[in-house]
Structure 1
Amino acid sequence: MTVVAGDETWRADSYVAAQFTRSAVSEDRAAQPLPTFGEWWEDRRRAALFSVEEVPFRELDGWKSQSGSDNLVHESGRFFAVQGVRVESETHGTWSQPVINQSEIGILGLLVREFGGVPHFLVQAKIEPGNVNTLQLSPSVQATRSNYTRVHGGADTRYLKYFRGGGGGQVLVDSLQSEQGAWFWHKRNRNMVVRVTEDVPLHEDYRWVTAQQLRRLLGVENLVNMDTRAVLACMRFAAPPRHLPAHDDPYLRALCRSYDPVNGTALHTDVEILSWHTEMRTRCDWHTSLVPLAEVRNWRRSGSAIEDEEGRSFRVIGVRVRTGNREINQWSQPLIAPRGTGLAAFLTTSVHGVLHVLVRARPEPGVMDTVELGPTVRRTSETDVAEDEPFHAEVAAADPRRVRFDTVLSEEGGRFHHAQTRYQVIEAPDGFPTEVPDDFCWVTVHQLMALLKHRHYVNIEARSLLACLHSLW
């Protein structure tokens, strides 16, 4: 194993967490003030030459329906395929659906460099075919293996060398995590933060921002993309300093205490949480397997879409893309298109003055270990509503004054078409019970961050909500 040592101080986890927090509270020490971000963003938006057209499957260049299975596959055998997944369960019955099978592990990476002693992160204005607004804020590198090995014959991925060991950077975060288990089969990405000390040539689509600026931008609808949120969630922050105005608000004061690993007031120990999670995985009787798309039941296929017969889930569509701002200028591909806006919500409450978040052990057909920790309430689309779901009523009827975060943010625009989720962090009413159903558990923010040392423990929606929690103080 080759390790780039870097500064000895940066090799201590506690120091890295403190530096991330320093960046998160240094609004007046940013290399470029936040008001100028809007000017840069508008300039990038005007320069974005991009068109997306929905087309029949037969017009997807380089894609074909595989003989015998009906799977939608790329002629190179790379990128991804649309096929079927079957779930068999004694408690939930047997059912099947289309799923994206993308076995390659991609890289989601943020470069970090200090300016004026404050860590800044390199983000990019990136176009994706499924984005509802074309352009969103992406990590320094966001690339599948097929992309960065140039299977498409396009240009090199900028800044890739820093995340592949050839740039002399120091790895601060490197976490292998899942993506949407409702739509992907065993999809994983490497979430990385790499520190550099040298000058980095800056392309016009890229910009250095502090964690404080990223936290503020999270409140803007459909701006910070899913991949940036995923990397942010894998960064461990130290407890925010006590001089922040947030400490004047009892809720935010409890939130800040929730970052402290030694406050001793967590409702459950780390071992209890890990044991509970293991028990939930053991109890789950779902058996999942890939099947040919031709064997998926209760879905119909036309020349332009694959959709469930009840019209409640999602569609698979084809698109043709033209752009002057990507590694290649035009391509075609399938996308999953959810029906309307989904929901992901955390209920939170203060226990002994420390904020706790209510997570749920949630099975999904596409995750590797079947069960990961997710939001308190989650639905993938507007039609995916289960009114008898625990805590659905509490979220739906929440007092607006207790809704601490409420923003519509996009899911992965490279595979999903206009997939939006309303992310909410809600303060539970006074006296809310800490006794919850077996598949729910209260955790502190520090405990949730610590779980991300493990792979496949916390799902992508819960990780997005963790990033949203970081934006509140």
Structure 2
Amino acid sequence: MTTPAVTMGARLRGRGTSDGASRPGPRWDRRTTALLARSAEVRGRGVDMATADFTEWLAGRHREHTFTVDKIPFADLKGWHLAPRTGNLVHSSGRFFTVEGLHVRTTTGLFPEWHQPIIRQPEVGILGILAKEFDGVLHFLMQAKMEPGNPNLLQLSPTVQATRSNYTRVHRGSPVRYVEYFTGPQRGAVLADVLQSEHGSWFFRKKNRNMVVVTDDEVPPHPDFCWLTLGQLNVLLGQDNTVNMDARTVLSSLPPRTQDPAGRLALHPDVDLLSWLTEHRSTHEWTIETVPMLGLPDWRRTDREITREDGRYFDVVAVAVKAGNREVTSWTQPLIEPHGEGLTGFFVHDFDGVPHVLAHARMEGGLPGVVEIAPTVQCVPENYSDDVLPRYTDRMRSAPSTRIRYSAVHSEEGGRFLNATSRYVLVEAEHALATEQPPPDYAWLSVGQLERMTGAGLTVNVQARTLLTCLRSLPDAP
């Protein structure tokens, strides 16, 4: 048994109440958790294919279509232009998204003030996965979807992954397949339906509706879609750049596969953790406002990129895209291209047999609520000098392989970010870390608490939701 030497302070005292106390978010019936548990057990073969055949299936979908992505000058963007008065990148329809400037001043974090470009997309998109039982095993309808920013272009995505502009066909392209299961009158049982934030460093207050709907319908097949069990998806989550960000966040919203065992205690009661998060949302000061990109301090514009003068963080670039299996088969658009591969991870530890993660109450300028629960480490190390690395980065990078429970490279949102990848890791905390008092903006959450807070929406950031999905994918997952 390991217990921290010091508690988190006056607000989080000792071993509170049971892990089931003061629950935020939904409860689920036993049949649902049993269905999910059974689906997670089926890792080798589903109704459509064996897991071992998936790589060839995905390669076959790639061969069936033409995919190209080329960087172009801003002047070659079609339907997009740099507004003369603001320098913002805008679409002629007034829809889709804009790239604007952001000015942040804050009393928390490593930097008290900064300017940057940011994507503003106020409409709420749909990320939806359709589920159906086959021979008593729940399967999920996944799509081989091309996104221009993906390193390998084609990855496994939700059944529906569409902005409101896309599924209302502002682009005048083909209808979004299967979207009727997630809009209008319900055509199935809702297993999950929650608003979640997107990347707070690159999106301004962007939210998407994450949904899982179970149907009894005879769903018309399509060669770019396949039915996979949860167990098969869990295997594929161990592969680099295979399951896209949108699929990972929807999977994180699934109900737990097991109910919390009676008598097992989380390190802190839910109410104290919610109070801890609320305190960090309410006691720090920040001023966050969108500003014109024209003349944005520390940034410069060329005919092909908007970039920081010191070469750090990211560029804004333009691309021309061809994709034979999309609703529109060719287009141009801006993308954010980060510099370097990110490191994103949780330290994990069992306290009295209850698995916990070390979470961070992290402020990001673009988050709807400014502060959300984030991983222990979330950064691109090469953007920092060694003396100002974010907390715990060196400890995570230097962890021996024997303490790494999960490691894979995953790409971020390929529809808006170009070659944005992070290594996602789950690292068993060493004894010293597990027994020391975390800093005030860090806390140990049980996995059950992380699941419930994810289910509450707009509380757990997208990187932490990916790590939750990865943690639940492990064969010995709680």
Regarding TM over 0.5, the answer is: yes
How far apart are residue 292 of structure 1 and its match? 1.1
Q: Which amino acid aligns with 1:48?
A: H
Query: Structure 1 residues 407 and 28 mapped into 2: Cα distance closer, same or farther (>3 Å)?
Result: closer
2:424 corresponds to: 423
Deviations 1:376-403 (A, max 9, x none): 0110464246654322221011011110
1:69 corresponds to: 86
How far apart are residue 287 of structure 1 and its match? 1.5
Contact 1:313 1:381 (C-alpha < 8 Å) held by counterparts: no
Q: Which amino acid aligns with 2:454?
A: L
Q: Does 1:399 align with 2:416?
A: no
Contact 1:14 1:238 (C-alpha < 8 Å) held by counterparts: no
1:180 corresponds to: 199
Deviations 1:133-184 (A, max 9, x none): 0100000000000000111110000000000034622211001000000000
Q: Does 1:444 align with 2:455?
A: no
Measure, in 1, the Cα distance between the counterparts of 2:429 and 2:350: 9
Q: Provide the secondary structure at the position in 2 that maps to 1:227.
A: helix
Q: Percent identity?
A: 46
1:42 corresponds to: 59
Q: Provide the secondary structure at the position in 1 that maps to 2:133.
A: strand
Q: Provide the secondary structure at the position in 1 that maps to 2:165.
A: helix
2:184 corresponds to: 165
1:470 corresponds to: 472
Query: Structure 1 residues 21 and 297 mapped into 2: Cα distance closer, same or farther (>3 Å)?
Result: same
1:223 corresponds to: 242
How far apart are residue 20 of structure 1 and its match? 1.6
Deviations 1:115-146 (A, max 9, x none): 01010000010001111101000000000000
Q: Does 1:281 align with 2:281?
A: yes
Q: Which structure 2 residues correspond to residues 312-461 of structure 1 after superposition, within 5 A?
A: 312-380=312-380, 382-384=382-384, 387-431=388-432, 432-461=434-463
Q: Provide the secondary structure at the position in 1 that maps to 2:294.
A: helix
Q: For this pair of structures, how many residues does the alignment match? A: 444
Deviations 1:29-56 (A, max 9, x none): 6213212323322211211311111001
1:23 corresponds to: 39
Q: Which amino acid aligns with 2:337?
A: A
Query: Structure 1 residues 122 and 382 mapped into 2: Cα distance closer, same or farther (>3 Å)?
Result: farther
Measure, in 1, the Cα distance between the counterparts of 2:46 and 2:86: 54
Q: Provide the secondary structure at the position in 2 that maps to 1:168.
A: coil
Measure, in 1, the Cα distance between the counterparts of 2:438 and 2:385: 21
Measure, in 1, the Cα distance between the counterparts of 2:367 and 2:380: 15
Deviations 1:201-231 (A, max 9, x none): 0100000000000000001100000000000
How far apart are residue 22 of structure 1 and its match? 1.8
Q: Which amino acid aligns with 1:450?
A: R
Deviations 1:241-289 (A, max 9, x none): xxxxxxxxxxxxxxxxxx7263432100111111111011112212211
1:142 corresponds to: 161
Q: Which structure 2 residues correspond to residues 60-209 of structure 1 after superposition, within 5 A?
A: 60-90=77-107, 92-166=111-185, 168-209=187-228
Q: What are the ranges of 5 or more consecutive residues in structure 1 without an aligned counterpart?
A: 1-10, 240-258
How far apart are residue 424 of structure 1 and its match? 0.3
Contact 1:238 1:260 (C-alpha < 8 Å) held by counterparts: no
Measure, in 2, the Cα distance between the counterparts of 1:124 and 1:48: 14
Contact 2:45 2:51 (C-alpha < 8 Å) held by counterparts: no
Considering Cα pairs closer than 8 Å and 6+ residues apart, tell me whether 1 or 2 has the greater RCO: 2
Q: Provide the secondary structure at the position in 2 that maps to 1:52.
A: strand
Contact 2:306 2:316 (C-alpha < 8 Å) held by counterparts: yes
Contact 1:17 1:235 (C-alpha < 8 Å) held by counterparts: no
Query: Structure 1 residues 195 and 231 mapped into 2: Cα distance closer, same or farther (>3 Å)?
Result: same
State TM-score, norm by structure 2: 0.90
Q: What are the ranges of 5 or more consecutive residues in structure 2 without an aligned counterpart?
A: 1-26
Contact 2:99 2:117 (C-alpha < 8 Å) held by counterparts: yes
